[in-house]
Chains A and B, each alone.
Chain A
Amino acid sequence: MKGIIETQDLNLFYGEFQALKNINLAVRRKTITAFIGPSGCGKSTLLRSFNRMNDLIEGVRMTGRVLIDGNDIQNSHTDLVTLRKKVGMVFQRPNPFPLSIAENILFGPQIHRTAKKDEYEQIVEESLKSVLLWDTLKDKLDRNALNLSLEQQQRLCIARLLPVKPEVLLMDEPCSALDPVATERIEDLMRVLKENYTIVIVTHNMQQAARVSDDTGFMLLGELIEFHRTEMIFTNPVDQRTSDYITGRFG
């Protein structure tokens, strides 16, 4: 098996409009993979096909296969709960629940009944420590999560995934609502998390992809133009369109 996520001839249509065209790729375990490309090229759509969040959108049709750990998740027997526990997602705009900080973190363990009540405290502490929020928030666990800064909210959204014990973290432009300093700190966090998780990040910020990722895919108009090691994409791209994009000639 080549990767924890693989796609084979993946096509996706929103009604008549084809948003993904024949995508073939393999994401390596415990690496950071970035997808870059101009806005509207299908990055978010691709990411959402890894945890079947596209199912929520009416009129979506797919062909081809998406394999997670070798299992075809497109087929109708796929248990969405199991899939989404394994493949967690961080959204572009931080979206903590309008509940307390602790309740946000405990949401996963509570719905999946994976922990007992006496383990809750420890789960909250460990999760917040993993995203380096524990020291600042340990006395404010019952505060409303919506009162945190955007960066803290985004960290909390990452922390919220961890007790569910995912293997993959999908991040759709996780820093686009953040300032440069916060962005840098989230990138540091991603490097730490890479030890234990496979991270797939979508970004329209090329520097970010260059800074954090191991592999990079360049997308254009629904096609995956090129998918290679990040240094290669940025120093020695194979496709002319890739090189045009990374040198800023369009997009």
Chain B
Amino acid sequence: MSLKNFKEALIEKIIFLSGIASIILVILIFIFLAKEGLSLFKSVHLGDFLLGRRWHPISEPPQFGVLPLILGSLFVTLGAAVISVPMGIASAIYIAEVAPPRMKEILKSGIELLAAIPSVVLGFIGMTTLVPFVKHHLNLPTGLTAFSGSVMLAFMAMPTIVSIAEDALTAVPQKYKEAALALGATRWQAIHRVILRAASSGIVAAVMLGIGRVVGETMAVMMITGNAVRMPTSLFQPVRTLTATIAAEMGETVRGSAHYHALFAIGIVLFVITFVINLIADWAVHRKLK
């Protein structure tokens, strides 16, 4: 075998091994997560875990109800979605279809910059500006609320939503727009009746990936949402999310204890949620009109 062929074969092997390694790693992580998390259900009922309204992991006897945490995550996520989805899609439309070329460049760089801010920095800024603002202007006992978290997370979801939705809109062939305008459509009619619909699968994917980012976010949420474990009833209360719970409590658990397994079980819940969101995104991308 010549040296060249040998090199080719070697490179091929290395690429193959890297590909396999990532799959094996995922499988190992998954097995670990399942093993540590599912152990909880030797001592706790699945129903009590998912629907239990009390999370008191260190009282005697401990209670491992994650419903308040699931609802905490849900409130914060929905709040963030309500803010970031319409704004994100509107910005994407503006950038892709309306903005003059220079404005477009400026906005796109702005969005990239926003994406580049580490979440802990955003959390810190939120803590020092948004939290007092919310407390003061909404006249609340504390600004550390689900609402503040939603606003903060909306900022994190925006770059993802805007950039992916903008790509989807830009990818719609110009000829559809021409056809619409030639039929006497106004620019807005062309956008919302043809371009948005042609790009709809990309836009759904953008939204789902944005939401996925929000669900998984930990640091900023922990800094801003107040972390009170209780059944949330309004957006303007402190809440605790699934992610924040794991991050806050992992350090103080005894390895192998029920609490330790419960945190892994929360990990599984998060995994399932994210998985479903990705599944929807995937379905949206591949969905086609017959």
Contact = CB atoms under 8 A, between A and B. Distances in A.
Interface of A: 51, 53, 56, 80-85, 88-89, 91, 93, 95-100, 107-108, 110-112, 142-144, 147, 157, 160-161, 164
A144 B184 contact: no
A91 B179 contact: yes
Contact of A112 (B173, B180, B184, B194): B184
Contact of A111 (B173, B179, B189, B197): B189
B145 to A, nearest CB: 43
Contacts of A161: 183
B275 interface: no
Given A93-B175, A98-B176, A100-B289, A81 B184 contact: yes
Interface in B183-242: 183-186, 189, 193-194, 197-198
A144 B183 contact: no
Given A98-B197, A99-B197, A111 B178 contact: no
A147 B288 CA distance: 11
Chain B, interface SS category: helix
B178 A56 contact: yes
A84 B197 contact: no
Interface of B: 173, 175-176, 178-186, 189, 193-194, 197-198, 288-290
Contacts of A84: 181-184
A164 B178 contact: no
Given A107-B194, A160-B183, 8 more contacts: A84-B182, A84-B183, A85-B184, A88-B183, A99-B289, A110-B193, A147-B290, A164-B184
A144 B189 CA distance: 20
A81 B188 CA distance: 13
Contacts of A56: 178, 181
A221 to B, nearest CB: 26
B180 A97 contact: yes
A143 B184 contact: no
A108 B175 contact: no
A114 to B, nearest CB: 10
20 contacts: A56-B178, A82-B184, A84-B182, A84-B183, A85-B184, A91-B175, A91-B182, A93-B175, A95-B173, A95-B175, A95-B176, A95-B179, A97-B197, A99-B194, A107-B185, A108-B183, A111-B193, A112-B184, A144-B288, A144-B290
